[in-house]
Amino acid sequence: MGAKVVITELDQYLFGQGTHYDIYKKLGAHFSKVGRREGVHFAVWAPNAQSVSVVGEFNNWNVEANPMKKIGPIGIFETFIPNVTEGQLYKYFIVGMNGELLYKSDPYASASELRPGNASKVADISNFQWRDQNWIKKREAFDVKTDAMAVYEVHPGSWRKHPLTKEDETGFYSYKEFAHGLAAYVKDMGYTHVELMGIAEHPFDGSWGYQVTGYYAPTARYGTPVEFKYLVDYLHRNKIGVILDWVPAHFPKDAHGLANFDGTAVYEHADPRQGEHPDWGTKIFNYGRNEVKNFLIANALYWIEEFHVDGLRVDAVASMLYLDYGKQDGQWVANKYGGNENLEAIEFFKHLNTVVRGRNPGTLMIAEESTAWPKVTGDVEDGGLGFSLKWNMGWMNDFLEYMKLDPYFRKYNHNKMTFSMTYAYSEKYVLVLSHDEVVHLKCSMVNKMPGYLDDKFKNLKAAYTFMFGHPGKKLLFMGQDFGQLQEWSEERELDWYLLREESHIQLQSFVRDLIHLYERYAALYAMDEDWEGFEWINADDADRSIFSFVRKSPTKRNNLLFVMNFTPVERSDYRVGLPKKKNYKLIMDQNGMLEEPVLYAAEKKECDNRKFSFEYPLAPYGVGIFLY
């Protein structure tokens, strides 16, 4: 089933240096041969353990049956056990430095038992025939600066569910079922990528996958690791990119997990001021320890190189960069210069992004970073962190604060919609309306909007129009493209039945039109990083709460003029200034894409400090997108 697995002195040296980028091929459980005997080679890093043994279904969980041998100076234990078969459960029984008796899951396991069980599972992930070669080849040329990117953020366990039965109490779609349904929906809507939440194994559904115990194991909720490969492969064959949420910021204290792994702080800092998040009740990785950095960097490479994913969205980056994040005085330790910057995490990010993006051209490393930390997407050589993209949390907060206002008060908050353009080119941004914005009593997107239900839908169409016109990649969380009314919950599927109602059908159709428009015209993405790609026509019409701007293409052809009215007041006499004396085609309004464009000719009438203009009657919450 496999060649002989041997952990060499070079393996140990590289792991100790933090540069063994495929250490997951040596640590963990791997099918192996010793002489003529077939079995599994087990290896685990437990530097301060007195002893370690493997317990599992193959030895009736007998702690004395299969002791492991400590090899080398850095604390790796290994053993070979014959006749172990695919799918058998196991754990490591560890006697800690002070005599602690610990049963631990394998940090490098490729598969896990379905919760509430927490044992690791012997798995062979090598026997899958990939058919996505065309996608992978094409991915190498993907340029985050100039290519379109519209992301559909999805929680697989609650996108759709089967009816619950005694035999199936979860209703989860399998990876294969999910692949087919998701690909069909995403292709129809026009999204270029999906971002999947909660793929790495985690014990508690309510954590949404952000408290990980199995960093190398696709969750057993939806099937096997090979079936997860099928999901990625199928999406790729349907020309859909796959991004995973990835959580290197912290891990939970569950007894079977990484915390106090051998009775001592192995993966975390021993000092709780450095090793714990008081607000989250979780442990912080020790980014100064080479073997821990290696565990995380190899894990990022594992998902990209073994499972072909196209990128990682790195969760809670700010909590890693700031030593005092979420902490009071006395709860944190300053760096050697007396500052609050986590120097070890900074170096970790530079190392991580350089290796991942260097080895895998066209892949994405995306930072969820909520502060004004400089050069998050800057080049490492220039003092940056080396991420491909950064979530634009500032835009999101200002945008939602504005959209939640009664339209009467929007004129006093006009700058909330214009301020983001003052820093739009300081980083490479993704505009995000993520799961975080539709939970914990924050309301769904449509219910954030003011007014009666009909007004809410009109507001949301205007809002999405502004979002798709604004520079930056795009991300929408599932359900928000058809007007999910309830807040999201991981316990139930989306309210797909709403798509029997006209208002939800119309909103979904409108968003579909916006996404297809976004991808069709390079003006909306090819100059996201160039200030010459955007120009305000009127950023100061606060009294009427109207915004107008143009997006320009690199070829100077097929530019787009946007006009949006954020009040319920009709502006039948509205006139918009024009960048050039040309004919302008109205291609989309508040009702969606027009079957036949309507021509508007430039008139020599001054407006918005421009020589030319035309009249465009603006409906209440009306929008207009013009091609010129």
Residues catalogued as catalytic: 315, 368
Residue 53, Cβ neighbours under 10 Å: how many? 20
CA 205 vs CA 107, 114, 219, 221, 303: distances in Å: 20, 11, 11, 10, 21
- Show Cβ contacts of residue 156 under 8 Å, excluding neighbours closer than 6 positions: 172, 173, 175, 178, 196, 197, 198, 199, 221, 222
Sequential DSSP letters for 331-375: SS---TTS-SB-HHHHHHHHHHHHHHHHHSTT-EEEE---S--TT
Sequential DSSP letters for 406-457: -HHHHGGGTHHHHGGGGSTTSS-EEEEE-GGGGSTTS--HHHHS-SSHHHHH
- Candidates 628, 561, 558, 564; CA nearest to 590 is 564
CA 106 vs CA 22, 45, 81, 91, 112: distances in Å: 16, 10, 16, 6, 9
- Candidates 437, 427, 370, 425; CA nearest to 399 is 437
**Cα(614)–Cα(598) distance, integer angstroms:** 13
DSSP summary character for residue 221: G
- Candidates 221, 209, 158, 174; CA nearest to 490 is 158
Q: Are 305 and 311 in contact (CB under 8 A)?
A: no
**Cα(434)–Cα(369) distance, integer angstroms:** 14
Query: Positive or negative, the Cα torsion across 368, 372, 373, 378?
Result: positive
**Cα(96)–Cα(101) distance, integer angstroms:** 6
> Residue holding tokens 């508040």?
590
Kindly tell me the burial class for residue 205, based on how many C-beta atoms sit within 10 Å of its own C-beta (0-12, 13-18, 19 or more).
middle
**Cα(214)–Cα(202) distance, integer angstroms:** 6
Q: Are 411 and 334 in contact (CB under 8 A)?
A: no
**Cα(373)–Cα(383) distance, integer angstroms:** 12
Helix axes 290-301, 343-359, angle to 10 degrees: 30
Residue 390 host element (H or E) = strand 389-391
Provide the CB-side half-sphere exposure for 556 (13 A, CA): 3
**Cα(343)–Cα(549) distance, integer angstroms:** 41
- Candidates 306, 313, 310, 335; CA nearest to 322 is 335
Provide the CB-side half-sphere exposure for 171 (13 A, CA): 14
Determine the length of the chain.
Answer: 628
**Cα(570)–Cα(574) distance, integer angstroms:** 9
- Going edge to edge, which strands form the sheet with 28-34? 28-34, 37-45, 76-82, 69-71
Q: Are 123 and 86 in contact (CB under 8 A)?
A: yes
